[in-house]
Structure 1
């Protein structure tokens, strides 16, 4: 039986077949165009995303890795300041020369080391202990009293700073230019270094010594990394010298040896999967500290291998950027094979580079391209069937509404446009509308949830920043404000006083005979004593603008905004309150722990500066000590 063709049109030339042929042609053209556009968009988008993640993770690493070096530089500067202040005190040199005689022992070759058993913790005659402290002094310069005083003071301060940072720093030592240094560490250098034979110690050949004492300034320097066979680890030395005198001579060099193993381990595991990191010095040659494929060459060259010497040509573009990098800020460098985020670790001459191979992006680009092409083909094939089976009215209007809804999806939180969708239609368009409505609800809910999550994360970050600021301004021993917080508050109160034309008073407070207290009762009792003083001062910081802070060692400060009469009463009340605590002090003529207070009051109607107020308070404190301690002395013409 033959079916009739009422249209009279040959099946070969039917509208259906022509529409199908045109649709197939369009499918091919659209798929090719969509594939090309998708490839470009996807590659650009993925590269942008990778670049953003690289920048963020690298800058976070730069800030994280800078923290220990900032601490070291601050400790070294505190060491140098305390060294200079101690030497400047009247009568200190004679005491230090006496300490030198107690601590050090002269050998037959003219060199000096610490006395036997001191390193193991045996006390001196006065009860002081210096466990883990050793020292060596070259025999080619006979020490006079000045050298003895400086060497003894370096020994005392190296023990103080080294023991306080035990567990955080590998060691701490102060070097005198006469080629001697005491050091706080686990190994006794007195048993390691000698001054004769092929292994004789020649301190002047060490990089930190030559560079530290070879310049007039006091900028912190980092030596090239070196392999320490005694510790079987990579190390670098961070050194800061004091300011040279008029003759160009330094008195002391504060040093810390830093183990690099943990830093290398962290660098070896960048946050982005598939990436790798390198670390080098911004010296034009790119002297390597860490590179995953060159550590054997670095070790065999004693730390002198560099990007140029190893001809790592793929990293040459990094050297051009390294010299102009701002500290702590990452920049992107495009190389032939990698996308590299690099930045200078703040406070160091080191450049951290995180390399992301471009080859890692290729699978994702082609996966997205495949999905786009397949979806395009499927969509256009569905369109072919729609042309044959669905009327314009049943398709065009609902699709138009879906398009409008799609464009408005995610714009604002109102959803009235969903009500116009043909969700009640029983056909595929209705199903699509219902599915879209559910998806739109989820998108809106997800967007709202994301906004709340962003707000929560922002609040958490602000709280973390606040806590970090508080930690950086609180003295770790006493729990009150530290020197940094005091400096900020003093300048702030000074400026406010200038604007308001008020009076600012400053108490400089020193615990009487505290060294004797420490020597007699021990450092733990000394710490407890300082905490008691801090609590007393905090209890007397009565007004909103008052601030009690630890100034350094056994010295404290108290800022108030009261006039002369009330400030003097306030200072005397502090002095009396401290004595009333009745903390036993067998080595004090008062029998209890007392304080001496230097009080300075400055109205802002007279000319002056913050340094003048500090200087007056310091002079008043000196007078209080000279008059017998346990009293308040008011500075100035009052």
Structure 2
């Protein structure tokens, strides 16, 4: 500094130039980082909501099987098709039902005198099914029996256990309101370490007297396994809890729903070993979609209350780590910010060169730089200056401007590429959410959307809506014998053949689940749907599935139902009727069509 207190020209140029560009970099970097984080969080919340909706729909569909089975068995008892006077004769029916009901644990019938018989798939039995009864080897003494080839009761396979169904929650719940579907409380199974949820129905005769109680049980482990198949990322969690906050199922064995030290006790959200679930219990507002901060980690939470009907409500939660959605974004933003800071350093160094003896040319160049007039700087406006330093400075600024323009173009190109990649990923995600990945036909979600839309249209226009539910006969045995690749090829060929029978843009064939398919036929009566169903049966039966260049003939069973929707009816009514027709087709020998009478 001189005696007069004036600063050197070099410092007067360096200090303000550096500060201005530093502030600009901080503002641009801060805004970019904020926008990137918001975009990542919004995408994560969208994924959490989509996973939650998908789980809710699939859990509802899973639990809807229980009342359908109960109504079917109650109808069989009332009609006399199921002989409650000789309950041992019901064994083939119950055994067939449990084989066809993949996620069910017990399908049972109990009589007022305490006699009890069921078709059973014990948890952790790898899907093995058997029959159990409490009246064959002693009064009210339960044992398991191996089925004969025709489904009748064979030899005993377990020890005897005292069992009175009248003391069990499912029968007590049914007897409180005879004739009404009733959920039982979550309970432990007799002689097993597992928990289950039951639904029951007390069947009455014409005088209103209870003649039998039909029951269906599903182990909580089945629900946990079902949830675990939903993709939730590396550390995502999904859980189900009852109205009291006690856990019903979780998507990960690392987050148990029973106390490891006391397996007979279900864990509560408020006292769970997981700090994340304890934090969830503090938020009782449903639906709840927010960010939770737990021990320095942030989670995108989507919590909702799902109504399973008949007075039962569960809480469903999906929790996804925020880092999975914002981590890469933050890394990319930091790299861009680092590049900008490097450019700023270069600009500051160049500013030091502007401290020459001639102020005016330097001020002009500075004005051009501050106004971001890159074109003027690139033209090397002072290349003819008589001052060597000014010419050199002008040429340096022109070169720097070229580099800066290239850097800006490169950065813009990166942004464009990233935007295109994100759009492509979104398009792919949208396609995957409505298309079955194996058969390339519509998936369950697309079916639900289309079915509900056509139901509303049919209700508004009072036109008939027909629905087919289709199941490949003996597919599990085919899969076990020829392997999953052969089973997948069979599913693909069946899907292609079914789709080939449809010729209207409003008709839809979808994979309903496993080896089941569904066909929606808007503005189609039962009389018009029936020939199409027969045509599909013949097409499948006549066209063999080619496995390793060898033909294998498959058949299908079809349940057809049609109705003109009423004002107080829901799509569930048509689904249940079609499902009942499908069961009837199977019961009548398969490879056939069963329809409304």
Alpha-carbon deviations, 1:12-62, whole Å to 9, x = none? 5574569859988x899x79x979x969x96x9868866764664466356
The one of 166, 174, 185 equivalent to 2:107 is 174
Match of 1:253 in 2: 216
Match of 1:343 in 2: 302
1:459 Cα deviation after fit = 3.4
Counterpart contact for 1:342–1:351, Cα < 8 Å: yes
Say whether 1:159 aligns with 2:99. Answer: yes
Alignment map for 1:84-95 (pairs within 5 Å): 84-85=71-72, 87-88=74-75, 93-94=80-81
1:220 Cα deviation after fit = 7.2
Instruction: State the alpha-carbon separation in 1 of the partners of residues 221 and 362 from structure 2.
Output: 73
Instruction: State the alpha-carbon separation in 1 of the partners of residues 10 and 520 from structure 2.
Output: 91
Q: Tell me which moved more, 77-86 or 541-550.
A: 541-550
Counterpart contact for 2:70–2:200, Cα < 8 Å: no
Instruction: State the alpha-carbon separation in 1 of the partners of residues 229 and 529 from structure 2.
Output: 51
Instruction: State the alpha-carbon separation in 2 of the partners of residues 225 and 50 from structure 1.
Output: 46
1:474 Cα deviation after fit = 5.8
Alpha-carbon deviations, 1:93-144, whole Å to 9, x = none? 34x33xxxxxxxxxxxxxxxxxxxxxxxxxxxxxxxxxxxxxxxxxxxxxx4
Which structure is larger by alpha-carbon Rg, 1 or 2? 1
Instruction: State the alpha-carbon separation in 2 of the partners of residues 597 and 180 from structure 1.
Output: 28
Say whether 1:320 aligns with 2:282. Answer: yes
Counterpart contact for 1:173–1:181, Cα < 8 Å: yes
Q: 1:261 to 1:71 in 2, by over 3 A?
A: closer
Alignment map for 1:22-421 (pairs within 5 Å): 53=40, 56-57=43-44, 60=47, 63-64=50-51, 67=54, 70-71=57-58, 73-85=60-72, 87-88=74-75, 93-94=80-81, 96-97=82-83, 144-145=84-85, 153-162=93-102, 172-176=105-109, 180-184=117-121, 185-186=127-128, 190=144, 194-196=159-161, 223=186, 237-241=196-200, 251-258=214-221, 271=234, 281=241, 298-302=259-263, 303-306=265-268, 308-309=270-271, 317-321=279-283, 323-326=284-287, 330-334=289-293, 337-344=296-303, 347=306, 349-354=315-320, 382=349, 385-386=352-353, 388-389=355-356, 391-405=358-372, 419-421=375-377
How many aligned positions are there?
Answer: 492
1:470 Cα deviation after fit = 12
Alpha-carbon deviations, 1:170-212, whole Å to 9, x = none? x64324466654223337672786554xxx5677888888778
5+ residue gaps, structure 1, are 1-9, 98-143, 163-168, 406-416, 499-503, 585-592
Q: 1:506 to 1:463 in 2, by over 3 A?
A: closer
Instruction: State the alpha-carbon separation in 2 of the partners of residues 396 and 342 from structure 1.
Output: 56
Q: 1:395 to 1:278 in 2, by over 3 A?
A: farther
Instruction: State the alpha-carbon separation in 1 of the partners of residues 530 and 273 from structure 2.
Output: 72
Say whether 1:440 aligns with 2:408. Answer: yes
Question: Counterpart of 1:349 in 2: which secondary structure?
Answer: strand
Question: Counterpart of 2:421 in 1: which secondary structure?
Answer: helix
The one of 373, 378, 391 equivalent to 1:422 is 378
Instruction: State the alpha-carbon separation in 1 of the partners of residues 359 and 374 from structure 2.
Output: 22
Question: Counterpart of 2:291 in 1: which secondary structure?
Answer: strand
Instruction: State the alpha-carbon separation in 2 of the partners of residues 471 and 447 from structure 1.
Output: 36
Counterpart contact for 1:241–1:250, Cα < 8 Å: yes
Instruction: State the alpha-carbon separation in 2 of the partners of residues 582 and 292 from structure 1.
Output: 42
5+ residue gaps, structure 2, are 122-126, 131-142, 145-155, 307-313, 382-391, 481-486, 543-554, 586-591
Alpha-carbon deviations, 1:548-595, whole Å to 9, x = none? 8999999999958699xxx97x789779979999989xxxxxxxx9x9
Counterpart contact for 1:541–1:558, Cα < 8 Å: no
Alignment map for 1:434-473 (pairs within 5 Å): 434-467=402-435
Say whether 1:492 aligns with 2:425. Answer: no
Match of 2:547 in 1: none
1:301 Cα deviation after fit = 3.5
Counterpart contact for 1:507–1:599, Cα < 8 Å: yes
Q: Tell me which moved more, 538-547 or 396-405.
A: 538-547
Instruction: State the alpha-carbon separation in 2 of the partners of residues 448 and 19 from structure 1.
Output: 39
1:506 Cα deviation after fit = 7.3
Counterpart contact for 1:473–1:485, Cα < 8 Å: no
Instruction: State the alpha-carbon separation in 1 of the partners of residues 359 and 54 from structure 2.
Output: 68
User: Please, what is the CA RMSD of the aligned residues?
Assistant: 7.2
Counterpart contact for 1:598–1:632, Cα < 8 Å: yes
Q: 1:573 to 1:295 in 2, by over 3 A?
A: closer
Q: 1:204 to 1:377 in 2, by over 3 A?
A: farther
1:467 Cα deviation after fit = 1.9
Instruction: State the alpha-carbon separation in 1 of the partners of residues 458 and 32 from structure 2.
Output: 52
